[in-house]
Amino acid sequence: MTPTRDLAGLNLSPTARARLEAFEALARRWTGKINLVAPSTVPDLWTRHILDSAQLWPLAPPEAQTWADLGSGGGFPGIVVAILAAEAGTPKVTLIESDQRKCAFLRTAARELGVPVTVLDQRAESAPPQATSVVSARALAPLATLLPLVARHLAPGGTALLPKGRDHAAEIEAARAKGWRFAVEALPSATDPEARLLRLTDLAHG
């Protein structure tokens, strides 16, 4: 295995790796039609999107039974998580995405890859609260804007996994200034030395 095809140290079965590679190919084909990811990132799609998504998987509590991904877009991290969840048997994955074309892609990907997911074609602020063990969101909104959506769908005692860029510390400060309380771990990213994977627990407001 070459370093560029590594998956953050995950010990994957041949089936899971084959599904991820099939998803990469599918995402490349569809991106030309509906712009799933930024065109500039397509040449490095494996690292910039699949590896970047897969590194969230080991950060989830092992006992997690449900996972909601907000603003799933092109399936990063939602479909990647669903592939890894199918291998493990849990959690059940729900993808929330308001763009109808991207929802069509998500459903096609899940069907072709043989992974069970629920796709809700709604905005995160209007979708029925999911009360999931884990909520993720990647490149959706600044933390202060994102946390009301996370809180809407996160079960009490749940974990939020939120990749953030170089301004992660400022976003944490801004969210706390808006009255949000949480415990946070800012974990290093395998794909960007300036980014962090925020693992939030004990989320509350006021």
Output phi, psi for 66, to 5 deg.
-140, 150
Is 76 annotated as ligand-binding? yes
Residue 66: other Cβ atoms inside 10 A: 20
The residue ranges of DSSP E strands in the chain, in sequence order, are 66-70, 92-96, 118-120, 132-137, 154-164, 180-188, 196-205
Is 28 annotated as ligand-binding? no
Is 157 annotated as ligand-binding? no
Place of tokens 């602020």: 125
Q: Check: CB of residue 200 under 8 Å from CB of residue 182.
A: yes
Cβ neighbours for 150, distance < 8 A, ≥ 6 positions apart:
70, 135, 137, 160, 162, 200, 203
Q: Check: CB of residue 136 under 8 Å from CB of residue 107.
A: no
Is 71 annotated as ligand-binding? yes
At 131 the three-state DSSP class reads coil
Is 138 annotated as ligand-binding? yes
Binding-site entries for S-adenosyl-L-methionine: 71, 76, 124-125, 138
Show binding-site residues.
Answer: 71, 76, 124-125, 138
